[in-house]
Each structure stands twice: as structure tokens, then as C-alpha cells.
Homo-oligomer: A and B are copies of this chain.
Amino acid sequence: MFAGALDIGGTKTIVAIVNKDGSILSKRKIKTEIIDYKVHFLNCIKLLDECLNEISIKRSDLIGLGINLPGMVNSSLGLLYNAPYAGWKDVKVTDFFHWNTKIKNIYIENDVNSCALGEMYFGETSDNFLWITISTGIGGAIVVNKNLIKGSSFCAGEIGHMKVEYESPYKCSCGQYGCLEAHASGTALTRMFKELIQRDADYRNKLTEFKLCPDASGMAYLAKHNDENCIEIFKLCGTYIGRALSNAINLLNPKEIFLGGGVIDSYALIIGEINLQIRQNTVKKCSEVNIKPTALGYEAALLGSAALVFTNEN
């Protein structure tokens, strides 16, 4: 059984064919063309056909097409309300793809929600868990009794904008202050690394010596090689993530929290502080929660879009 899988992010899009055990049989990656969603969606369909050709199957062999979108989605109406980064609003995504592919079973979902569905379908989860993406930005999905919590206006799970710093808050890209995203995302880590580089000439030399980028990945390299300043920054990031997770745990009492996004690379650098915060900040009876990296790795969102199909067509 094959599913078409489209993971449309704010900056890049992945198109793939995935089978029922989660193997990615063919795959293409392009930049997300935000100027005109129609142009971009048609490009996606072209790439989907390339993927199908590569493994010698036809559109009609797909049991369905799952599509992740980077914004607020009403999956039952097939509607993208708003994708802030791309600037797309009120797009009838399901209709568009149905019309242009003739594929009958098309499912759309917010990208982080898809990750949670992917973890549930391809990984091992309990009935009550959270899925948190920590990448350029930070987003969350909530699963209760195996169902996604969507919220009254389809925007539940905004843990990235939970406030974790009231005394010395940074401004977030959303315009507010002290958001988790402003203190612990890849963007925040890069900002803190750049501040360190500016303060200390040693780091400018290290960048050259080890051929590092002045971003979160460069800092992770140094932290893993025992640079104490970089280790401290990751610990701070873990503290903020731990504060937000503690709030979510006290409220929702999940059994597990899966972490995905670029942060998985630096999991060992932050998990100690995350667990410390959880011990200090959650009520005892809620604190037996497992924090773990996603089992789906970098392809979590793509596998999530395939899971949309398999979950619905089972």
C-alpha cells in the first residue's frame, strides 16, 4: 500500500511516496514557492509524478495523498486558514489537489499535528502524549485518548509562545516577549552563539579553525567538544524548554513527550536540564512522564503526512 506524502513547510517542501511500514520509496525536495500557492502546488504534483515514475507506479496506485501545511488547518473542511510565514490565507487545499490529481482520498493537517499522528502510526506511543518540534520555531501537538486536540479555532498546541521568562524576556518574532521560541528555538540558540562570538575573539578563531557556521549547529559542535560557554547556553535552552514542558505536564498529565526538529541533534546537551525542571516544577503525581526524541528522526513530518493517509484508510 502506497501513500503520497507532501510535507509543505514555510521554506522547503518534500514530496515522497511512502509505504505502510514507513519506508520512503522515492523523494524530492524543493524550495517552497510562497509567492503563489497555485504555482507551488502544481510543482508539487509534478514532483509527485516524478516520484511515482521512479518506482514505476501510477497515481491510481496510491491509496491517498497526505499533505502537511505550515499553519492553521481545518482538516475536516480541507481548508488552510492561514500560513503566516508563506502569507497564504483561506486556501481550499483539498479541492485544489483533488481537482488537479483526481486522487480521491486527500487529507491535510498542520505539520506538527502530522508529526504526532506519524509517531502514533509508525512509532510507539501511549494514548496521551505531546509532540514538540524545536527547530527554527517551536510548535506542539497534543494527543488525548488517541485524538488530536485542535482547539476552538484550530490553534491549540502553541507551546512556542508560552511565556518562560518574565524578568529578562527577549522579543519573539510574534511581537510578544518571553516566548519559549524566543529563548530556546534554533533561532534563539544562533542569536546567543552570535553574541558569544561578538564578545570573545577566541570564538571567531574557532569558527575558522573548525570550519563552523555561526549558528546552532556550530555551537553544538563546540559544546560536544566540551566548550563550557556553549554547554551553558544549551543548558539555558534546556531550562526554558523544561519550564514550558512542566506547565504543559501540570495541565495535561501526558504519559510521554516526543521531541523533534533540529534539537534532536543536541538532545544530550539539553535533556538533563529539561528533566531537572520537570522534577522541580510538576506536581509529583504528574511527573512520571517520559521525555524522548522522536523515533521518526528527520523525516518525522514527512512520515506524518503519510500517516494521515494510512490512519484514515485503515
Name A92-130 residues within 8 Å CB distance of B. 126-128
Complexed CA–CA distance, A82 and B284 (Å)? 12
Tell me which residues across on chain B come within 8 A of A82, comparing CB atoms: 285
B243 touches A166 (CB 8 A): yes
Asked, given contacts A142-B251, A162-B250, A167-B166, whether A153 binds B281 with beta carbons under 8 Å apart, the answer is no
Residue A207 at the chain B interface, CB threshold 8 Å: no
Complexed CA–CA distance, A152 and B142 (Å)? 13
Interface size on A, residues (CB 8 A): 47
- Which of B144, B157, B158 touches A149 (beta carbons < 8 Å)? B144
A251 touches B248 (CB 8 A): yes
Residue A283 at the chain B interface, CB threshold 8 Å: yes
A152 touches B254 (CB 8 A): yes
* Interface SS, A side: loop
Nearest B residue to A174, CB-CB: B283
Complexed CA–CA distance, A9 and B283 (Å)? 20
Q: How far is the CB of A172 from chain B (nearest CB, A)?
A: 10
A127 touches B152 (CB 8 A): yes
B251 touches A159 (CB 8 A): yes
Complexed CA–CA distance, A166 and B251 (Å)? 18
Asked, given contacts A250-B161, A251-B251, whether A72 binds B152 with beta carbons under 8 Å apart, the answer is no
Asked, given contacts A149-B144, A152-B128, A281-B176, whether A159 binds B250 with beta carbons under 8 Å apart, the answer is yes
Specify which of A82, A126, A144, A167 lies most central, judged by the most chain B CB atoms within 10 Å of its CB: A144
Q: How far is the CB of A183 from chain B (nearest CB, A)?
A: 12
- Which of B150, B157, B285 touches A153 (beta carbons < 8 Å)? B285
A253 touches B283 (CB 8 A): no
Tell me which residues across on chain B come within 8 A of A174, comparing CB atoms: 283
Given contacts A156-B286, A177-B280, 13 further A-B contacts (CB under 8 A): A72-B285, A140-B251, A142-B251, A150-B253, A151-B253, A155-B285, A156-B251, A158-B286, A159-B250, A159-B251, A163-B281, A166-B167, A178-B281
